[in-house]
A and B are shown apart, each in its own frame.
Chain A
Amino acid sequence: MSAVRWGRGAAGFGRALWPAGAPGLLAEEGALGGVWGRKRSSTASPCEQDRRKDWGHAELLEVLKARVRQLQAEGVAEVTVKRVAKRVAVARAPEAGGAQPPRQAQAGAEGAAPMLSSRWAQKLDDDQRLMERRKQRLEGKLQKHVEKVAWQKQLRSEPRLLSRKLASQLQHWEQGAPRSPWEEQLAQLLQEAPQGWSGEAAAAPADRGPESRLEGQRQRLLSFFECCLLTGNLPLAHHLLVTHHSKSQQQRLLTLSMYNMVMLGWARQGSFKELMYVFFMLKDAGLAPDLRSYAAALQCMGRLDQDAGTIRRCLKQMAQDGLQLQGLFTAVPLSAEERAELLRAVRKAKPAFTPPRPPVPPPQVNTSPLLREIYAKQDPTVSYPRLHLSLKELQGLFRQQLRVEMATTVTVESVEKVPLLTKEVLHARKTLAGLRTRWRTALYRELQETKESEAHAAREGRLSLFPYLCLLSEKEIVGLLLQTLQALPAQGESLLFLAHELGLRVFKRKQLRNEVQELEQRYSKYLHLLASDTQVAEPCLPRQHWEALGAPEAPHEQPWPVSVVVQLGKQLAEVLVRAAQMPSSLAAPRSPGTLIPVLYHVYSFRSFRQIGILKPHPAFTQLLETAAERTLTFESTDVPMLCPPLPWTSPHSGAFLLSPTKMMRSVEGSQQHQLLLERCPPAELHGALDALTQLGNCAWRVNGRILDLVLELFTDKGCPRLGVPAPPSEAPRPPEGRQAPKGCLLPEVSPAEKAEMRRELARRLKVAREMQSLRADALYRLSLAQHLRHRVFWLPHNMDFRGRTYPCSPHFNHLGSDLARALLEFAQGRPLGPHGLNWLKIHLVNLTGLKKRESLQARRDYADELMEDILDSADRPMTGRKWWMEADEPWQALACCMEVAQAVRAPDPTAYVSHFPVHQDGSCNGLQHYAALGRDSVGAASVNLLPLDLPQDVYSEVAAQVEVFRRQDAEQGVRVAQVLEGFISRKVVKQTVMTVVYGVTRYGGRLQIEKRLREIHDFPQDFVWEASHYLVRQVFNSLQEMFSGTRSIQRWLTESARLISHTGSAVEWVTPLGIPVIQPYHRDSKVMIKGGLQSLTFSSSVDTSQKPNTLKQKNGFPPNFIHSLDSSHMMLTALHCYRKGLTFVSVHDCFWTHAADVAVMNQVCREQFVRLHSQPILHNLSRFLIKRFCSDPRTSKSIWVSRLMDTLLSVPKAGTFNLEQVKHSTYFFS
């Protein structure tokens, strides 16, 4: 507990220090520019004057008089005393003085200086300044105290305006309020042209320099206001707006959208007075109101039922500002109710006005030539697939999924073996339940206290966490914290991670949408497209259908800045640390019954850096272990969906029903790709949206037989060889935890032996820890599989910043290991047809990893030869000959064995309904794309772009080429080359060749080869270093020889990226399908969150105001570009397969479909590859980059830009390979 107390002490200290500076500064200005005092005091708002009238002022005078006496005592000349006295008078309005632009205050000071010209006077002046400073400090303290008292009474709502004209207008308006209605005032106010410097403010965003530094603070402020609005803390938002507005330094942070947001809040409540205040401030800040401002004002008038005249004037002004009335209804996002109020107001002025219909999306057509076919209308050949479920079933599934998402978490039963319910276990469970009840109460209390202190901070004008803490109900937060405590690993978790995750969870949960009914109706109609027993008028893509059913989604909310996320999470973590306590008797049975903390904040040292870790008390971990509770809790978004996901209709709407999901994921905190996506015309994204929708629409089910077998192993002893992790009981266990084994304390054991014992212990602990983490991973996957057994489920997809697609659910998906993949099969079956069985057999042989260089026929024959083994594996997997266990991918092979067995035993194999996914893999897909880009004949042949009788193996060929070089060198007498004789094999070079495409360097390549060489036992290990060095050089040379085009393209890409980065931009491009890509690599910027348990410092590479990280930009470009191409190829294939009614999913360059459809898929895959590369991809890229980075006249003189221009214009020349040949290449994907 005291660890915490210590932390809290630190926090308190920080708090006390906080509001420094500003009041003192204001006071000084007021004092120096004495002449201005009276005038200014009249501009101060009445409220402030009232406040100052109370006791605080009298005391202040007292103190100052005392100071004067002191000065006199020190023998200072009378003149000073007089000045001080004057100052006392001035001090009446020290705050108002601050409102004066500093320039004027300075002028005042300068004017005062010449009056005292003699040296003596000068000295006096110095003395006095010193005194004054002291006085100010004192004054500041008093002031603060006074203000604090006042704030506790009320939040500020009246603004203090910088423009005197506006201010007097405001005052006038307030005083005359009963006579002239506010609305008149508004009309007048609107006519005021924004002040001169508004132009400057408007131009500011273009100037990226210091502005961008403010960006982070603005984001924070905006998210604060947003949260206030969401949680009904509008007065607080207003208060902060006013306090920020009144300080010129802070006013710079305020943007139009913030004023608008607060105004909208007041409009919703129908509070015209406050709305007017904001309007005044907006004008005062020199901003020009936009559509949203008007919408808010009119809405408010609508609610208050104002008279037509005012509204008319307002509308007139709007027209003068060049804003369209129609725009109010089309360009401003409004709820139905807000719309009605707005309309009511407008109709008063213009009774005949009819609002434009909800904007019908203009017929947007994707312009990409690659997608022309997909979006061609009325194509009779189209047969989109349907699900095997009826409308009714699907509706039922929808309701299930809805329930899951509304509950936000899913509780799943663990597949861990049921413990014997001994007395001990029951007792532990009971203790645990008791503790949880206690913690719940304690957490409530702590949370409330925290909220209170945060609310207090907010009232003092700080951006506190108060509104964020109000987003979720206390019950929900307490639940979240208890869940966190439960899931905390025994070895602890870094505080930063914990904070980050907690913060993100709050953010995700608050985002849940709430128009459930509307959603249900629309979804139900949408299902007509997918269900097996319904009709739609016209076949179309899911997205098109969904869009036809209603208006587009409201724009999404901005994510919070990372610093807010972490700060919030940290605050919550601290609440947890403070609240969670347990009786000490749990830890030490004999100790008295005091309470001890459950969580400890400890440090781990990495070199000179310390990492704060939250660690549970070992006794608590022990308790959890003993209780062996059998439930696991997942966030609902971490679990596959139970109904077809919502189709993707925009970069931020799709997938889960209630929880918004991003179409593109990227580095946490990165914003730039989202901005790009939003700026992109919606139609350009159709390809990506539809492909993702289609991948997500594939229905899955669990392969029950495999799951049974795996579970059997899992609950028994595991089997690491087959990828089933062993239980902790199998781990090498240290005898007594960290405690020393017996021999360790004996003096007769030598120090060296003790050191050896320590090493052994450390090794064991390491193995145990690794096993434990693998085990937990498998536990999650298998428990989810068990949970979903006998159900149909869907894996919604999104993509990374290059366009590669991934399932959203992290634990259980088809992207994982062999075991994970084997657990899944298509929920929808398809008869095998004439060739299906053959493809199953070929697939089985592929999974074994044998016969890689044989023809398809040979592989099939091989399967037939082995049929007995296959059937044996299928029938008696654990007791028979276990042929399947030797395969490269044993579990998938076993699943395939079972499928083959069932098919061959079916009365008619062609009619056998198969659910089994068959895979087709690209052979070194990255090189395939490079070879096609460069039209490399030699390279193309070695990666199977050419139709040949047997599959080619690029790795073997590189190995052969290396061998040629080696022989030459050996003849020349190169020692290493001679040593290497007989050691160069496919295996040695494979990894390096594969990764060269993705930008592995010689250094990395050498390490890979070194590893391989070490695995060869009879290789003379002394030569490893030299040999690996030599080999990596030869591999690169061989690749250069075989893929000359590839290397030149790689170099061209790298060089372009380097130059782009030097011009100060991140590399950006557009994939052939139209997805904008931007590399999120910037120099690190540090973020620091102070106070509390510990200060957290982390750096983020996504701060766009930082310069790009040239090294990463340059090294990342070639692989990222190739990935954007392979993802385009995959999406094209997916879309075309969908048109043909196929089930299609992918794991990057591995495409899956039903056995019956493999041939069709292969054909589509090849065709689309040819289509894709028939585009002038590199020239398009070059053109795009020139337009993007070289066309700005301001920078065109820069040396980097001109060099970039030269580089971009010299696109690498293509070779002579005829791309059409790919269409006939059997082994292109196989």
Chain B
Amino acid sequence: MAREEAQRTDDHRVRVQTPPGWSVSLLGRPLTVLGRLRRDGNGSDGKRKMERSFALKSGAVRWMDVPAGNRRGLSDYYPHLMPSVGFGKSSSRVYRCRSETKRYITSPRVAETLVRILRGKRKSCQLFLECNPGPGILTRALLESGAKVIALESDKTFIPQLKSLGKKVNGRLEVVYCDFFKLDPRSRGILTPPIMTSDMLFQYLGIEAQPWSKGAPLKAIGILPPKNERNALWKLLHDLYSCTSVYKYGRVELNLFITEKECRKIMANPQNPGLYQALSVLCQIACGIKLLHTESCLSFGTYTANGQLAKQKHRESLEQNLCFIQLTPHKDLFTGTLTPFNYDVFFHMLRQCFMKRGAKLIDHLHSLSPIDAMHILKQIKKNKDVKVIDMYPEDFQHLFETIECYKDDNYKWLYDDFMEDVII
């Protein structure tokens, strides 16, 4: 029937500050666009889809037909939002109707730099999972340095080229028609490549799951899809916290190219409140983030879905920088109260808090937990005027743990599975 949205004026009132410790090269760009970060992040298609399922349809009729107190759960009642590309039921259809542009590494110079960063002086046979290698410039460079590479390519047009490359290197290259960023779609219908489950993929590759405490089973390299970086990030975080998908196989280390804009956001903290958001907290709690390299967008080639080299139209995107960051999941992420069993409450808490970022924490606590808010604040040793954007990621974790371990009350959270947040 309808949905509503809370006022989110805060999102658009973002102050821009220079993040401390930010390298000068990163600040080369004008900062004006940052004022609209949230909207940019949504991506236009996400917005469109939401509006579609937003109509006040025959609500009253349904209302009448279904007795009060007996209405089906919200999740049934509202038609689910069409999940974004890659999580769709019929992947093939979604995939076809969308002309997606992807970035690829086309410059040998960049490839060399990356190999230097990733390999260092090592000569050993390391395993890399390269996502969407495209023309295979980096693949070649990696192979030349003596590494083993699994290339997951979601675009069929590149596959023959990559396979022929693989023939030359004596089995050190495995090419799979697969889309890494769309692994394990949410609603499982029929999966046709390039959409796969991680189980299918890893079984095929013969990679065994490693315990969380062990090191990374493999290193993944890729470029976040430019259209929906945030969606991809949310999905990765979701997988990470729930210990599913690729993270079921251990602490996979991600080496990703990400736009500078997003990069700053995930590294933000209360010292740059303009950029600070739920994603920042989640990223920083879960992983160690290292900025390895920065490269201008110009060094990348952009291809449309059918493998055509696309012209870069927007000046803005040309001037942008891409940051190469390393995300290593913390070894002790799940040793405390936060576990894959209750991470969703943590997610919910953060999303709720950052909905009105300028508000006081205490106001949010009332909508999160029936426990006396003053009491909680006392326990985490914050005063009652503390604002959401004043809380460091660790503070949020502490807050979560405090509530989750609260002894006196029978009911700790107002959140329940019924409200299960749909991410992306």
Residues on A lying within 8 angstroms of B by beta carbon are 1-3, 6, 484, 487-489, 491-497, 500-501, 504, 562, 584, 587-588, 590-591, 596, 600-613, 615, 617-619, 638, 665-669, 738-740, 744-745, 747, 750-752, 754-755, 757-758, 761-762, 765-766, 769-770, 773, 776-777, 779-780, 810-811, 1003, 1007, 1010, 1024-1025, 1084, 1087, 1090, 1094-1102
Total residues of chain B contacting the partner, CB 8 A? 88
By the criterion CB–CB under 8 Å, are A496 and B3 in contact?
Answer: yes
Mask of B409-424 contacts with A, CB within 8 angstroms, 1/0: 1111111111111111
User: Bound state CA distance, A761 and B366, in angstroms?
Assistant: 26
Q: What is the minimal beta-carbon distance from A741 to any residue of chain B, in angstroms? A: 9
Say yes or no for B341: interface residue by CB 8 A criterion. yes
Residues in B with CB closer than 8 Å to A604 are 74, 419-421
By the criterion CB–CB under 8 Å, are B70 and A776 in contact?
Answer: yes
By the criterion CB–CB under 8 Å, are B46 and A608 in contact?
Answer: yes
Say yes or no for B93: interface residue by CB 8 A criterion. yes
Say yes or no for B334: interface residue by CB 8 A criterion. yes
**Chain B positions 349-383 with a Cβ under 8 Å from a chain A Cβ:** 351-352, 355, 359, 362-363, 366-368, 370, 372-373
By the criterion CB–CB under 8 Å, are A769 and B73 in contact?
Answer: yes
Which 4 A-B residue pairings sit nearest by Cβ, starting from the closest?
A776-B70, A3-B366, A1098-B2, A668-B60
User: Bound state CA distance, A1029 and B77, in angstroms?
Assistant: 30
| Nearest neighbor of A779 in chain B, beta-carbon distance | B70
* Interchain CB contact (< 8 A) of A755 among B84, B244, B368, B420: B244
The interface centre, meaning the residue of B71, B339, B424 with most chain A CB atoms within 10 A of its CB, is B339
| Nearest neighbor of B375 in chain A, beta-carbon distance | A591
Beyond the given pairs A493-B71, A604-B421, 4 more chain A to chain B contacts, judged by CB atoms under 8 angstroms and listed by A's residue number, are A1-B366, A603-B367, A617-B370, A666-B58
User: Bound state CA distance, A591 and B370, in angstroms?
Assistant: 12
User: Bound state CA distance, A669 and B366, in angstroms?
Assistant: 35
Residues in B with CB closer than 8 Å to A488 are 69
Q: What is the minimal beta-carbon distance from A613 to any residue of chain B, in angstroms? A: 7
**Chain B positions 320-368 with a Cβ under 8 Å from a chain A Cβ:** 334-335, 337, 339-342, 344, 348, 351-352, 355, 359, 362-363, 366-368
| Nearest neighbor of A784 in chain B, beta-carbon distance | B67
Say yes or no for B63: interface residue by CB 8 A criterion. yes
By the criterion CB–CB under 8 Å, are B348 and A605 in contact?
Answer: yes
By the criterion CB–CB under 8 Å, are B414 and A600 in contact?
Answer: yes
By the criterion CB–CB under 8 Å, are B341 and A758 in contact?
Answer: yes
Given known A-B contacts A496-B3, A610-B6, A754-B243, A504 and B60 have beta carbons under 8 A apart: yes
| Nearest neighbor of A1021 in chain B, beta-carbon distance | B190
* Interchain CB contact (< 8 A) of A668 among B4, B61, B71, B340: B61
Say yes or no for B318: interface residue by CB 8 A criterion. no
Given known A-B contacts A3-B366, A489-B70, A1101-B56, A615 and B413 have beta carbons under 8 A apart: no
Q: What is the minimal beta-carbon distance from A1110 to any residue of chain B, in angstroms? A: 14
By the criterion CB–CB under 8 Å, are B411 and A609 in contact?
Answer: no
Q: What is the minimal beta-carbon distance from A476 to any residue of chain B, in angstroms? A: 18
Q: What is the minimal beta-carbon distance from A732 to any residue of chain B, in angstroms? A: 13
* Interchain CB contact (< 8 A) of B212 among A668, A751, A776: A751
By the criterion CB–CB under 8 Å, are A1025 and B190 in contact?
Answer: yes
Q: What is the minimal beta-carbon distance from A271 to any residue of chain B, in angstroms? A: 39
Say yes or no for B272: interface residue by CB 8 A criterion. no
Chain A binder among B47-55, B148-156, B197-205, B216-224: B47-55
Residues in A with CB closer than 8 Å to B410 are 587-588, 618-619
Q: What is the minimal beta-carbon distance from A249 to any residue of chain B, in angstroms? A: 26
| Nearest neighbor of B371 in chain A, beta-carbon distance | A588
User: Bound state CA distance, A607 and B51, in angstroms?
Assistant: 12
**Chain B positions 233-274 with a Cβ under 8 Å from a chain A Cβ:** 242-244, 248
Given known A-B contacts A665-B61, A754-B334, A606 and B54 have beta carbons under 8 A apart: no
By the criterion CB–CB under 8 Å, are A605 and B341 in contact?
Answer: no
By the criterion CB–CB under 8 Å, are A780 and B67 in contact?
Answer: yes
Q: What is the minimal beta-carbon distance from B383 to any residue of chain A, in angstroms? A: 15
Given known A-B contacts A500-B59, A752-B340, A769 and B418 have beta carbons under 8 A apart: yes
User: Bound state CA distance, A2 and B67, in angstroms?
Assistant: 31
* Interchain CB contact (< 8 A) of B411 among A618, A745, A754, A1010: A618
User: Bound state CA distance, A494 and B417, in angstroms?
Assistant: 15
Judged by DSSP, the binding face of B is loop
By the criterion CB–CB under 8 Å, are A587 and B69 in contact?
Answer: no
Q: What is the minimal beta-carbon distance from A416 to any residue of chain B, in angstroms? A: 13
Given known A-B contacts A491-B73, A497-B1, A751 and B363 have beta carbons under 8 A apart: no
By the criterion CB–CB under 8 Å, are B419 and A491 in contact?
Answer: yes
Given known A-B contacts A587-B410, A607-B46, A668-B59, A810 and B67 have beta carbons under 8 A apart: yes
Q: What is the minimal beta-carbon distance from B335 to any residue of chain A, in angstroms? A: 6
Mask of B386-420 contacts with A, CB within 8 angstroms, 1/0: 00000000000000000000001111111111111
Q: What is the minimal beta-carbon distance from A345 to any residue of chain B, in angstroms? A: 44
User: Bound state CA distance, A779 and B409, in angstroms?
Assistant: 33
User: Bound state CA distance, A150 and B355, in angstroms?
Assistant: 42
Given known A-B contacts A497-B63, A602-B415, A610 and B70 have beta carbons under 8 A apart: no
User: Bound state CA distance, A1 and B374, in angstroms?
Assistant: 12
Residues in A with CB closer than 8 Å to B69 are 487-489, 776
By the criterion CB–CB under 8 Å, are A1097 and B4 in contact?
Answer: yes
User: Bound state CA distance, A601 and B209, in angstroms?
Assistant: 42
- Jot down 26 A-B pairs with beta carbons below 8 A, ordered by A: A6-B359, A491-B74, A493-B71, A587-B411, A602-B367, A603-B6, A603-B351, A605-B423, A609-B81, A610-B6, A610-B8, A613-B74, A617-B411, A738-B413, A739-B412, A745-B337, A754-B339, A758-B341, A762-B420, A765-B417, A773-B73, A1084-B54, A1095-B6, A1097-B5, A1099-B2, A1102-B56
By the criterion CB–CB under 8 Å, are A605 and B422 in contact?
Answer: yes
Q: What is the minimal beta-carbon distance from A754 to any residue of chain B, in angstroms? A: 4
* Interchain CB contact (< 8 A) of B68 among A501, A562, A609, A619: A501
User: Bound state CA distance, A666 and B424, in angstroms?
Assistant: 33
Residues in A with CB closer than 8 Å to B342 are 740, 744, 758
By the criterion CB–CB under 8 Å, are B56 and A491 in contact?
Answer: no
Mask of B76-103 contacts with A, CB within 8 angstroms, 1/0: 0110110010000010110000000000
By the criterion CB–CB under 8 Å, are A1098 and B341 in contact?
Answer: no
By the criterion CB–CB under 8 Å, are B56 and A562 in contact?
Answer: yes
By the criterion CB–CB under 8 Å, are A590 and B65 in contact?
Answer: no
Residues in B with CB closer than 8 Å to A770 are 72-73
By the criterion CB–CB under 8 Å, are A750 and B81 in contact?
Answer: no
Residues in B with CB closer than 8 Å to A584 are 372
